[in-house]
Structures are given as C-alpha cells and as structure tokens.
Amino acid sequence: MLCFALLLAVLLAACTGEESVAAPEELTPSSEPADSSASPDESASPDESATTTTPLALDEQLPIVFTDPDSTLDGETLQRFITGQELFDRDWTAAIPASTTDEDVSLDGLGPLFNAQSCAACHLSTGRRQVPPEGELTDVGLVIRLSVPGVDPITGAPIPEPNYGDQVQDRAIDGANPEGTVFTNYVTQQGLFADGTLFEIIWPTVNLRDRQHGPLTEGTQFSARIGGQLIGMGLLEAIPQEAILANADPNDANQDGVSGRPNAVWNPLTQDTELGRFGWKANLASLEHQVLQALHGDIGITSELISDGNCAVGQTVCDDLPSGGEFEITADEVDALVTYSRAIDVPAPRTDESEDAQAGEELFRSFGCASCHIESFTTGESPIESLSNREIQPYTDLLLHDLGFDMGDDRPDFLATGNEWRTAPLWGLGLIPVEGDRGLLHDGRARTIDEAILWHGGEGARSRNAYLQAELEDRQLLIAFLESL
C-alpha cells in the first residue's frame, strides 16, 4: 500500500461514581460563527400555525428490502450468501464442555462478555436499531466505545481503556457479570426555522452504571455507536482508491467550506496501513476485518485473526469459563459471512416516481449537500465478479468531515478527530422503517431525516443553514428526495 501512503502524505501535508458523556449546556444548531449570516433569529416567536417538516406524499407502507441478495449473483455465490445469512441471523450459544451434537460445535463460544447473541440483533433486517427511550436500559444495537488518550505506537489505533477494553459489554453468560449497565438520557433543544416553524432535537447522554471493574481511567474517551445499514457494502469496497482520494480536499483549496480527507487505518489482515472505508469514522479498511471485529467485540467469538477473548487486561473471566476452542468460528464460516455482507442488494431509488422528489434533488445540490454526499461512482474489481465495473449511486465520498462540536464525541480514531465522521451513504434512506424513530447518525440521536440535517455543523453548517432558511415547501421537497433514495 505504498501508493496509498504516498498519496495520503500529499493530501494531509498541511493538516495537523457514574461515568457519562455529558451534553453541553446549550445547543444552537441554527447558528455557527463561520456563516452565521444564514442563521434565523431564534428569539423570534414561533408561528403556531406552522408545522414541522414532513415528507410529501410517498408510499407510507414501504417494505423492508435490506435482506435481498444482489440480483447479479451467480449460483455458487448465491449459495454462499444464503449460508452467510443463516449465520448472520443465528443466535450464538455459550460454550458447553463436550457439546451435545456436532451441529452445535460451530456456534459454541458466546461471550463470556457480549452485547448481542447474533449479528441480526444489532442490524435488524441488516438495517439499524433505534436508541431506547429516556432512562431505560440501552437496547441491543448501541455500543459504547472506550479509549484513553494516545495511540498504539505500531498500528496508530486508539488505546483501549485498561479496565474495560475498547467497548463496554453489558451482557454476560452464566457465571460472568456484565461490565456495567448502560442507560441513555436526552437533553431536548428547540429552535426556529426562518419561517417561524419550531423544531426540536434531542441530545443523548450515555451513563455507565454498576461498573464491575472499578473506575474508568481518568481521561477515558467515550463514543456511542449504533449499528448501521449494511446494504451495498461490497460495492463500496470495490470503489477504486484513487476515485475516493480524488475528492479529498484537506485544505479546502476550492474554498467551498468542505475539506474531506481520508482516514488511514491499520489492517491486521494485510499488516499494513490502508484507506479506511467502513465504520462511522472510516476506521476499518476491509469487510472481513469489520465482520471479525464485530464477532469478537459484540458477540465474543474468536477467530484466526482475533484469537484472544474479549476481556480487558486484568479481567480473568475469559480464562475461568469454558470457551468454544481457540477459534470459535471457522474460516469457511467467516467467508460466508463476508460474502453475505458483500452481496446485500441496494434497493432501487424511486426518484423518478415523484415530481416532488425530482425538485428536491435540485435543492439537494443547491444547498451544497452533494459536496460530501457524492452521487455516483464506478466500481473497480470486486471479489464478486458481478459487482465489478458497476455504476452506483451511494451518495457518499467515504471521506472524513468535521461536523462540528455538537456532533463530536471527543474520541479520535486513527486520523479521525473527535469531530470528524465518514460521510454516511444515503442509498436506502427512505426505506428505513418509519414506525417509531429512524435512529439516524452515529448514535441514533436523529429521529427523522429532518433532525439529521439540523445536526450538521462544521463543514455541514452551510447546507444546514440553507435548509434552516428555506421555506416549508422547499424543505418538504428536499425530504421527499431523500425519502425516494
């Protein structure tokens, strides 16, 4: 990966009791010093006749279609996809000495610490879970990443918190105790659109109680992460590296207020530093690493790549309880899971079905949203031949962008700062089930697309402020476009 390292060097040459993640005292999403001229007057009285932004008429009973295989798969790959889907949905079980049947052997090894018993528990229908109501025990699907200041001298990765590791496991098998209990609370903030319409957003705070291994190290960095969508992962994997780097502009040379930059991450599979593509901070280089890391951290399953238990330094529970063997998942099973993750189909956009959506697409561009959410790429070579050389519309640049303090978590990840996040792909956005909250953004704080836009600060402030200044009809048109993806 010398080529990547050299390109990255050029691009980054000029860049330089109860534990909780507390919200700041005040959130002002409709203003930012960099371009406050676009901000509405929040001291104005709300227009009681105005309503919050809602999508225009589109099909309200949208199907969940995030589990279909890509339609181009050949028979052999489709069979691997089906095998992987069975593993994705299957509950893993705790290791039992002398397993009762051969069928159980490959599934022995849950935990002893874990967050979920299956992949599907965190990625419902390969989509996303929702954050729990205020004050309730955090549901499966939201994990708390931990690290302490500094980086690993060899890999550049964050340093795990010594007593609890790199994430809080809030569940455990019999004979072990969860590391702690995670609760979520919210701070509600209100503001006004320029036309007087009142909006409301919620700021989550995460609390870790009942800690089993003493206090957290001073300066521990938290980040709440919700399981994201998995559609089109193989297509994102196949985007040529040079196509991604071509959109990087770390010094904002074109002076559009957007300065996306790549993350450079350690890939233990290749023992090299590579371009980050996956994860909320683009902190993973490959799908295989993502699958293996999730199996280990979330479910407690060891593999040829990660053969140690998921207990933190000083915790003995991994040594004291039965395991499913040195490798609790086989290389063949890993391959099936990776094939499944690689080949989940992307639903076709429905923009052409609505004149409102087509009008909203023009606003999407004029508001500057397309500066980060780049519409199209052409894939290069893929391990699945039919995913190669495809025209795709993911609406992402896979780069890091500073979205401001309000969106930040103060936890760096390789080159990503606490305020930087990978541009989330927008394909399939309108098909996320709308019963309850949509659970958008890295910690699920945005209940609606409307709220997700309002959270954008930093490099996204210009687009957000354009949205705040827009009339209700134009805001509805923009949402209609996003709902059509």
* CA pair distance 131, 185, nearest whole angstrom: 10
DSSP letters for 119-143: HHHHSGGGS---PPPTTSBPPTTEE
Percent of the chain with pLDDT over 70: 80
Label each residue of 264-279 as H, E or C: EEEECCCCEEEECCEC
Per-residue confidence (pLDDT) for residue 127, from 0 to 100: 62
CB-based contacts of 401: which residues, under 8 Å, 6+ apart?
Answer: 258, 259, 260, 372, 420, 421, 422, 423, 458, 459, 460
C-alpha separations of 334 from 28, 71, 106 in Å: 45, 22, 11
At which residue do the structure tokens 């019999």 appear? 174
Per-residue confidence (pLDDT) for residue 16, from 0 to 100: 36
C-alpha separations of 398 from 261, 279, 323, 395, 403 in Å: 9, 10, 38, 9, 14
Quote the domain boundaries for residue 470. Answer: 2-483
C-alpha separations of 88 from 7, 12, 83, 138, 167 in Å: 36, 38, 9, 22, 21
Choose the weakest-confidence range: 85-99, 129-143, 320-334.
Answer: 129-143
CB 110 within 8 A of CB 93: yes
What domain count does the chain have? 1
pLDDT in tens, 276-302: 999 999 999 999 999 999 999 999 999
pLDDT in tens, 404-427: 999 999 899 999 999 999 999 999
CB 4 within 8 A of CB 274: yes
CB-based contacts of 251: which residues, under 8 Å, 6+ apart?
Answer: 14, 15, 259
Choose the weakest-confidence range: 138-147, 357-366, 371-380, 384-393.
Answer: 138-147
Instruction: List residues bridging with 428 in a β-sheet.
Output: none
Per-residue confidence (pLDDT) for residue 82, from 0 to 100: 96
Three-class DSSP category at 82: helix
Per-residue confidence (pLDDT) for residue 134, from 0 to 100: 62
Per-residue confidence (pLDDT) for residue 47, from 0 to 100: 39
Which two three-digit tokens encode residue 296? Answer: 């280990």
